[in-house]
Structure 1
Amino acid sequence: MKILAVCGMGFGSSMVLRMTIESVLRELGITATVATADIGTAKAETADIIVTSSEFATMLADKNVPVITITNYVDKNEMKEKLQPVVQK
């Protein structure tokens, strides 16, 4: 499974998202590859799940994969609540 953490530039925010995603996946005992990308790259990248802000989610809606929107990138509870149902399908 490949999860893509997306932000505007592909550096700061996406790295924070990636660390939070990886932490939650470890807690859940789920193995996945978590990559980071800027919005432009994300449009061309393949992934099974995309995690981003609501601002960028609308730009990625045509990807035909689940797009999870996160408000607080460091909130593990929010991440777990939104990511767990999707990764455990």
Structure 2
Amino acid sequence: MKILCVCGMGFGSSLMLKMTVEKVIQKKGLNAEAEATDIGTASGTQADLILTNNEFASQLEGGSVPVKAVMNMASEDEVEKAIDEYLDSK
């Protein structure tokens, strides 16, 4: 599974979110990888799940990849909930 972490420029909050996602992946023992990217690149990048903030989530929704908004990029609980919701929908 590939999880795309998206922010405006691809190296600020997306990197923080990527680190949080990696902690959750390791804790849950998932076979997954996280990648940080900017919003312009995100729509053309192949992934299974996109995690981002509310603003970018509304811009990325409607494509073939599910999008989940995360309010606190450093919250392992919030990220885990978003990943669990995605996994439960599969």
Aligned to 1:62, the other structure's residue is in SS state coil
Structure with greater helix percent:
1
Unmatched runs of 5 consecutive residues or more in structure 1: none
Report the count of equivalent residues.
Answer: 89
- What displacement does 1:87 show? 3.2
Other-structure match for 1:84 = 84
- TM-score, scaled relative to structure 1: 0.92
Q: What does residue range 1-89 of structure 1 map to in structure 2 within 5 Å?
A: 1-87=1-87, 89=90
Structure 2 segments unaligned to the other structure (5+ residues): none
Q: Percent identity?
A: 44
Aligned mates of 2:25, 2:68 — CA distance in 1: 15
Matched residues in 2 for 1:3 and 1:73: separation? 14
CA RMSD of superposed structures (Å): 1.2
Deviations 1:32-89 (A, max 9, x none): 1211110000011111100000100111113222111000000111111221231353
Moved over 2 A (4+): none
